[in-house]
Structure 1
Amino acid sequence: MTQYKMVKTLLTLSMGAMLSISALAKPTVMVVATGGTIAGAGASATNSATYTAAKVPVDTLINAVPQIKDLADVKGVQALQIASESITDKELLSIARQVNDLVKKPEVNGVVITHGTDTLEETAFFLNLVVHTDKPIVVVGSMRPPSALSADGPLNLYGAVALAASPESKGKGVMMFMNDTILAARDSSKRINIHTNAFDSQWGALGMVVEGKPYWFRQGVKRQTNNSEFNIEDIKGDSLPLVQITYGSDSMTPVAYEAYAKAGVKAIINAGTGNGSVPNYLVDTLRNLRQQGMIIVRASRVQDGFVLRNAEKPDDEYDWVVAHDLNPQKARLLTALALTKTNSTKELQRMFWQY
């Protein structure tokens, strides 16, 4: 072998070794698919709002974005195949247990959950409360199905994998990612049901992902993940204490509240007007329910702001709880988890302040 051939061979072997090391160095990101619009299909490319959700399996979602292989070693798990409006506490618990099992594996660096947008915020917030890890967990969806013109799912998935693969994402709690924007699971919600910028938070984004790189601007201060007193491993069975929401308006009646009581509901989240207001003609109904043992939580139907304790109504006197800045759907989840531990309204109010 000539000296030239020897050098060429050594260079080839060296480059191959470097490529192998590079491949080994890639983080491992698990994509947990649950269905939703991001896995939907319309009859034609112009059907961006009329389509069937939860049709595309996880491997097809991953293979449709080959560029994510440059970011991480990506593997898929089909946890569910469902439109997110049909998710119940049973499915929430199942998702949480599967994600919890994945983050406990040393070889897994991050997890991405593909999810329908209708209840994406609930699943993200629930995971934020019950999965103990500092590994990145990112919940991602889309507003247009893969079959539509300008589908937003592929780029959303690419950005979510980039976020989950980044070491800088560790310890920031469960995140929601869509439309290039990194949002906290705790305080973000769906604000519009048509546009691709469907989600927002009154407290602002955590950051953005631009061309596969996360940029950070703030961090949450509330208890979450590793700092949470709730743990999916402590919850047995496939249900949570039954908590329901009533929606405030003018001309209300006590019928819904009384029906919930007969159905065995343990707590009612009253999504009141303004500052979580309860109309005077319903106060006696709610006070009677509280005396019977039902938890009453005053939340607001208003998107932003927060409910002040002992404003509008004397919460201390009535032994009611206020949801602070959590929206009614997130208040429902925190209340249900709280009821797995305590029936104390003082303890529940503490949790609303801390989470």
Structure 2
Amino acid sequence: MMSIKLLLSVGASLALASPVPAPPSPVLIGRETGHFNASRPNITIFATGGTIAGSAGSSDQTTGYEAGALGVEVLIDAVPQLWNVSNPSGIQFANVGSSEITPEILLNLTQMVQRELDKPECQGVVVTHGTDTLEETAFFLDITLRTDKPVVVVGAMRPATAISADGPINLLEAVTVAAAPAAARRGVMVVLNDRIASAYYTTKTQANAPDTFKSYEQGFLGYLLDIKPVFYFQPALPVGRPYFNVTAAAAEALPQVDILYGYQGLDPKMAEAAVANGAKGLVCTGMGAGSWTRPGQKALAQLAKENGTAVVFSRRTMDGFVESGSVGYGGGFLNPQKARYTLMLALNAGYDDEKMHALFESQSPS
């Protein structure tokens, strides 16, 4: 095991709402001169916790473990092969289960990652993350970062203490992809289980199995063979992918947007309650291609008229396109959690009705 020196980095401190304890201040794992190689790309790893840093009481335990028990130094030490493909450095941004990640934390993360990417000596960034909400963070970064450099979000489905833990190889593959020149200009990517996927479309599809992150309709960008990335396509970005500027001057906090779930006989008052509780926007997880009950639509229309509440319709099905109806905006191919962050960022940016329609209907059939 290599010895890695811990250095305090300059970074904003984080605070999580009670009762969740505040994460540690960000720390930087320095590149030692004994391992540094000027011919290798410099890759910065932002660690946020999750299963990839999890620990359990026994090697056959893959549920009920403690997420975020290990620091980024331990993660890097466990994979010495990282130094064969990069000069890795690590920032302990947070160390929590991904269910504790908040929009405020994501604003801080994307600002720190952008500053790192803006440094000429940084060739790429990897973010380690819990898998439960990994797709939300990856999507958020995808539409708030402006860079051609590779950015990869990675996690694990088994804690570090488990037999055949997938974290070490996933981390090695993520850093390898971030270090690859062919990975540039592809937006934020998700790398797990030998697959390379677009953060814009990728979703967690299975609660327990390692082969879980997929985009059934759009497919994968590539795969890894012998820890070497193979891409299927030339660099390209998703059609209609927006960009939102969330520098410190542009965003201090994001408007509250809540997600409502559609079902037979749904209670229309749940929309009213969400707005009364402070929601400036609502994402409706509709049935089928975004359908909502008539009483529910009536309540939404009234909220939009009287409160100016922005409403976006998505779907509870795994995939599909949701078009605009008589109320609100159709979420297109975005699932509810991704439509939520899109709406939050659009409200923060002050989008009017015309811009909202253009944003959510960017992939409508012509």
Question: Would the TM-score normalized by the shorter structure come out above 0.5?
Answer: yes
Structure 2 residue 307 is matched with structure 1 residue 299: no
Match of 1:96 in 2: 110
In structure 2, distance between residues paired with 1:285 and 1:121: 31
Q: Which residue of 2 aligns with 1:129?
A: 143
Unaligned runs of 5+ in 1: 1-19
CA distance in structure 2 between the partners assigned to 1:88 and 1:24 by the alignment: 37
- Partners of 2:252 and 2:169 in 1: CA distance: 34
Report whether the alignment pairs 1:86 with 2:94: no
Aligned letter for 2:111?
R
Contact 1:156–1:178 (Cα < 8 Å) also in 2:
yes
Partner residue, 1:210: 225
User: Paired residue for 2:17?
Assistant: none
CA distance in 2 between counterparts of 1:172 and 1:230 reads 17
Aligned positions of 1:54-203 closer than 5 A = 54-202=68-216, 203=218
Q: CA deviation at 1:278?
A: 0.7
What residue number does 1:322 align with? 330
Percent identity between the two aligned chains:
38
Deviation at residue 209 of structure 1 after TM alignment: 1.5
In 1: Cα distance, 2:132 partner to 2:125 partner: 20
Q: Distance in 2 between matches of 1:223 and 1:77?
A: 32
**Counterpart amino acid of residue 242 in structure 1:** Q
Larger radius of gyration: 1
Pair 1:353-2:341 in alignment: no
Aligned-partner SS, 1:298: strand
**C-alpha deviations, 1:14-48, integer Å up to 9, x for none?**
xxxxxx9x921100001110000000001100111
Q: Which has the higher helix share?
A: 1
User: How do 1:234-313 and structure 2 match up within 5 A?
Assistant: 236=250, 238-292=252-306, 293-309=308-324
1:241 and 1:35, CA in 2 relative to 1: closer, same or farther beyond 3 A? same
SS where residue 233 of structure 1 aligns?
A: coil
Q: Which structure 2 residues correspond to residues 18-37 of structure 1 after superposition, within 5 A?
A: 23-37=37-51
5+ unaligned residues in a row in structure 2: which ranges? Answer: 1-33
TM-score normalised by the chain length of structure 1: 0.88
CA drift at 1:235: 5.3
Q: Which amino acid aligns with 1:297?
A: V
Q: CA deviation at 1:341?
A: 2.0
Retained in 2: the 8 A contact 1:89–1:238?
no
Distance 1:129 1:163 in 2: 20
For the 8 Å contact 2:152–2:188, the answer to whether it is kept is yes
Please report how far the alpha carbon of residue 349 of structure 1 lies from its aligned counterpart in structure 2 after TM superposition.
2.1
Could you tell me whether the CA contact under 8 Å between 2:139 and 2:200 is conserved in 1?
A: yes
Letter in 2 for 1:305: G
Corresponding letter in the other structure for 1:307:
V
Q: Which amino acid aligns with 2:138?
A: A
The change in CA–CA distance for 1:322 and 1:334 in structure 2 (over 3 A counts) is same
What secondary structure sits across from 2:66 in the alignment? Answer: coil
CA distance in 2, matches of 1:31, 1:98: 12
In structure 2, how many angstroms separate the alpha carbons of the residues matched to 1:322 and 1:346? 13
Query: TM-score of the superposition, structure 2-length normalised?
Result: 0.86
- Distance in 2 (alpha carbons) for counterparts of 1:353 and 1:126: 19
State the distance in 1 between where 2:238 and 2:94 align.
Answer: 32
Structure 2 Cα separation of the partners of residues 47 and 187 of structure 1: 31
SS of structure 1 residue aligned to 2:348: coil
Letter in 2 for 1:344: D
Shift of 1:346: 2.4
- Can you list the C-alpha shifts for 1:165-184, whole angstroms capped at 9, x where unaligned? 00111110000110000010
Give the C-alpha shift of residue 234 in structure 1: 6.0
Q: Deviations over 1:227-274 (max 9, x none)?
A: x44122265454201111000111210222111111121110000110
Q: 2:238 aligns with which of 211, 218, 221?
A: 221
- Determine if contact 2:49/2:69 at 8 Å carries over to the other structure: yes
Number of residues of Structure 1 aligned to a counterpart in Structure 2: 325
**How far, CA to CA, are the matches of 1:105 and 1:302 in structure 2?**
41
Q: Is the 1:295–1:345 Cα contact (8 Å) retained in structure 2?
A: no
Q: Does the residue aligned with 2:38 lie in a helix, a strand or coil?
A: helix
Measure, in 2, the Cα distance between the counterparts of 1:343 and 1:284: 24
